[in-house]
Amino acid sequence: MIDSKQYHVRNARPDEFEEIGNLMVSVYSHLEGFPKPSDQPQYYSLLANVGKLIDKPDVELLVAMSNDDKIAGAVVYFGDMKYYGSGGSATGEKDAAGFRLLAVSETARGQGVGKLLTYECIRRTRDKNIGQVIIHTTKAMQSAWRMYEKLGFKRSEDLDFVQGELPVFGFRLLL
């Protein structure tokens, strides 16, 4: 269960971009079975510079903040899939929004922060009257994978792709 009194979601401020990028690099580089920075330097550069993604239309960097004003997690929301930036066919999806690069700090794990960020992305999609939310995950992200399935996301093999040597699996939630 999410303790909504403990965390809230808002758009990240430019002065937080570097901290969020560092959080993302730390989270992804510590995933067992996930490529390391030396394996995929361009991907980790994207994570470190995540704030640059919001230069595109309908792209938002959302941050989950604790009541003591600490960053607990972040995600990039894409209100238009053409800016999603993944491999595979996802960027061609119509009537779709998506999110990528969900990361939760080690100290906030297990407290519903990932779910709170996911719910916010779903809410934004519904508010725009968009019919589906698209996401991708990997085998290294099993806790996120399980959470997405519990929230109603269904595997969509048509969205799968391979990043380097890493299989990436597509999911969609029809609204």
**pLDDT tens digits in sequence order for the chain, 175 residues long:** 455 579 999 999 999 999 999 999 999 999 999 999 999 999 999 999 999 999 999 999 999 999 999 999 999 999 999 999 988 999 999 999 999 999 999 999 999 999 999 999 999 999 999 999 999 999 999 889 999 999 999 999 999 999 888 899 999 999 9
Packing angle between helix 17-29 and helix 41-48, nearest 10 degrees?
A: 140
Domain total for the chain? 1
Q: The CATH number of the domain where 17 resides is what?
A: 3.40.630.30
CA dist 11 and 105 (Å) reads 17
Query: Does 40 reside within a domain?
Result: yes
Domain span at 137: 7-174
Q: How far is CA 110 from the centre of its chain?
A: 17
Let me know if residue 1 belongs to a domain.
no
Per the domain annotation, does 2 fall within a domain? no
